[in-house]
Amino acid sequence: MKKPIDTQNIILHKCMRETLTLEAAIKESNRCLLCHDAPCSAGCPAGTDPGKFIRQIKFYNYKGAARTIRSNNILGSVCAHICPVEKLCEKACSIKALEDPININGLQRFATEYGKIHKLEPLKRSKKNNGKIAIIGCGPAGMSCASQLAKMDYDVCIFEREPSAGGVIKWNIPEFRLPEDALNYDIENLANQGVEIKFNSAIDSKESLNKLKSEGFEAVFISSGLSEAFMLDMFKTYTNALDYITFLRQVKFGKDKLNLKDKNIAVIGGGSVAIDSAVSAKSCGANRVYLISLEHLAELPADEEEIKLAQLMKIIFKSGSQVTGVIQDGNIITGIKGIEIDWVQEGKFTPDNARQVSGTEFSLNVDLVVQAIGTKPGKEVGNFAEGIKTKGKGVIMVNDTFETNIPWIFAGGDVVNGGATVVQAVAEGKKAAESMDKYLKNRR
């Protein structure tokens, strides 16, 4: 049983869902069938093991539940808020044959918050006697890899170019989805393991990487994420066309400067970040917010829940539509032109497969365009890791064990998978850590 979304909180830039009370957690955990093979646990890429932590809640072992979550997933609090559970653990829930699935992220949030309130320190401090490892980028994959290595007593240092930790979680996930406290608590847990995070420390050149080697780091994990957003050519010269990375960061950390009150916004894209951008615009007082996507409503890549959220926030869906041009005043966009489309071939959601439907032309007055049509790795990856093999839009190539073609360099997270969920990044970070451990043991 999920609590309903509170749209009032979205406008106040607070978390859109309330946490489960102890009472609600007991009720919810008592609905769980405690399956023998816990398909929910099998459904979690990061191995957070909901089957176990729900059982622990049911048997009043709340601290045990917090320990289970934390030791399996260093981003236990963050994932409790933002994980697309309906596609993962809850999708697999056996009780769905009889009734609604167990509210797994609600219970996860309850347990992590219980741990926090009771000042639980579930993870022991690394003895740091097992070699030095450097991690580039303190996002989900980097944090996960660091935590796993610290558990194996490595001396881990994360190099982060930004002044704060969290990566995409910190800068691009809106407050209504993830309260700042949740990330901070995850970071605190990581710090308690003795992992050092060096801020404002970009590793972006050959020299900086070589320096790590000379400082005694025996292996490196690249988890620098995707920092460059794709832009449509037609918007490139205008000052009021932003990519979602820039936009969401400004909403979170510079609302006042953005001044969206009563403005009309067009968001281009149909995925989760497009919805986040549209809802964020609305939360800042925007007037009309359009979500323009090639995909029709039923085809949107965003989760059902996200679409419901957008509907609650009165986002105007221009689904199955294509932007055909801009109306401008100098280098300012004042409107966009569009047209509805059909697919030439069903099931292939790419611009070259779109057929415009004549007589459906429309134009919209807009004050800002936000593009959420994808991201790619920044150029720095090629700079510092010279000779590293990449593919496609520039993502790093790794083998099954997250090793790159350069022996001491491993990589994982978005910079490898091209952009996936936080829980996927956590999974990759964990697996890479195991692989790095094996690599270092073999070398000795």
Partner 1 sequence: MKNNADLSINFCGVKFENPFCLSSSPVGYHAEMCARAFDAGWGGIVYKTLGLEKSFKVVMPSPRLNAYHVGDKRFVGLQNAEQITDRPIADNIKDLLWLKKNYPNKVLISSIMGYVDEDWTELAKMSEDAGADLLELNFSCPQMAHKHAGHRIGQDFHAVAAFTEVVKKASKLPVIAKMTPNITDMIPVALAAKEGGADAISAINTIRAITDIDIDNFTPLPNIHGNSSPTGYSGKAVKPIAMRFVSELCNSKQLNLPVSAMGGIETWVDALHFLLLGATNLQVTSGIMRYGYRIVEDMIEGLSDYMIERQIKSLDEIIGKAAQKIVDPSDFNTRYQVVSVIDENKCIGCGQCFISCQDGANQAIKFDAATRKVSVNEERCLGCLLCKHVCPVWDCISYKEVDTSYTKHAAIF
> What residue has token string 């398909």?
39
Q: Cα–Cα distance between 58 and 60 in angstroms, integer?
A: 5
**Per-position x/- string for 56-85, each x denoting binding to partner 1 as judged by CB under 8 A, each - no binding:** --x---------------------------
312 binds partner 1 (CB under 8 A): no
Do the Cβ atoms of 184 and 227 come closer than 8 Å?
Answer: no
SS3 161: coil
Contact pick of 36, 119, 257, 261 for partner 1 (by CB under 8 A): 36
Sign of the torsion formed by the C-alpha atoms of 124, 125, 127 and 131: positive
Nearest distance from C-beta of residue 345 to partner 1, angstroms:
35
39 binds partner 1 (CB under 8 A): yes
314 binds partner 1 (CB under 8 A): no
**Per-position x/- string for 212-251, each x denoting binding to partner 1 as judged by CB under 8 A, each - no binding:** ----------------------------------------
Residue placing its CB nearer to partner 1 in the complex, 47 or 378? 47
SS3 46: coil
Residue placing its CB nearer to partner 1 in the complex, 94 or 246? 94
Nearest distance from C-beta of residue 39 to partner 1, angstroms:
7
What is the full DSSP assignment across 392-429?
TTTEEP--TT-B-SSTTEEE-THHHHSS--HHHHHHHH
Do the Cβ atoms of 413 and 139 come closer than 8 Å?
Answer: yes
Residues 6+ apart with CB under 8 A from 347: none
Query: What are the structure tokens assigned to 154, written together?
Result: 């490595």
Stretch that binds partner 1, among 33-41, 241-249, 256-264, 393-401 (CB under 8 A): 33-41
Contact pick of 5, 33, 202, 231 for partner 1 (by CB under 8 A): 33
Residue placing its CB nearer to partner 1 in the complex, 38 or 178? 38
Contact pick of 27, 308, 389, 441 for partner 1 (by CB under 8 A): 27
Contact pick of 21, 30, 200, 331 for partner 1 (by CB under 8 A): 30
Residue placing its CB nearer to partner 1 in the complex, 40 or 286? 40
CA-CA distances (angstroms) from residue 238 to 2, 254, 288, 322, 371?
42, 20, 20, 19, 13
Residue placing its CB nearer to partner 1 in the complex, 42 or 316? 42
Burial class (CB in 10 A: 0-12, 13-18, 19+), 358: exposed
Q: Cα–Cα distance between 222 and 135 in angstroms, integer?
A: 6
Residue placing its CB nearer to partner 1 in the complex, 101 or 271? 101
Q: Cα–Cα distance between 55 and 42 in angstroms, integer?
A: 15
95 binds partner 1 (CB under 8 A): yes
Nearest distance from C-beta of residue 305 to partner 1, angstroms:
24
What is the full DSSP assignment across 136-147?
E--SHHHHHHHH
Q: 267, 269, 245: which is closest to 376 by C-alpha? A: 245
Residue placing its CB nearer to partner 1 in the complex, 60 or 253? 60
Contact pick of 7, 19, 94, 328 for partner 1 (by CB under 8 A): 94
Residue placing its CB nearer to partner 1 in the complex, 88 or 433? 88
| H-assigned helices in 195-260 | 206-214, 244-253, 255-258
298 binds partner 1 (CB under 8 A): no
Contact pick of 12, 21, 37, 200 for partner 1 (by CB under 8 A): 37
Stretch that binds partner 1, among 27-35, 103-111, 162-170, 430-438 (CB under 8 A): 27-35
**Per-position x/- string for 97-126, each x denoting binding to partner 1 as judged by CB under 8 A, each - no binding:** xx----------------------------
Residue 321 belongs to what H/E stretch?
strand 321-329
Nearest distance from C-beta of residue 92 to partner 1, angstroms:
10
> What residue has token string 């490196």?
220
Residue placing its CB nearer to partner 1 in the complex, 98 or 298? 98
Burial class (CB in 10 A: 0-12, 13-18, 19+), 249: middle
Size of the site for partner 1 (CB under 8 A): 14
Do the Cβ atoms of 135 and 142 come closer than 8 Å?
Answer: yes
Residue placing its CB nearer to partner 1 in the complex, 65 or 315? 65
Nearest distance from C-beta of residue 32 to partner 1, angstroms:
10
> What is the binding site for partner 1 (CB under 8 A)?
26-27, 30, 33-37, 39, 58, 94-95, 97-98
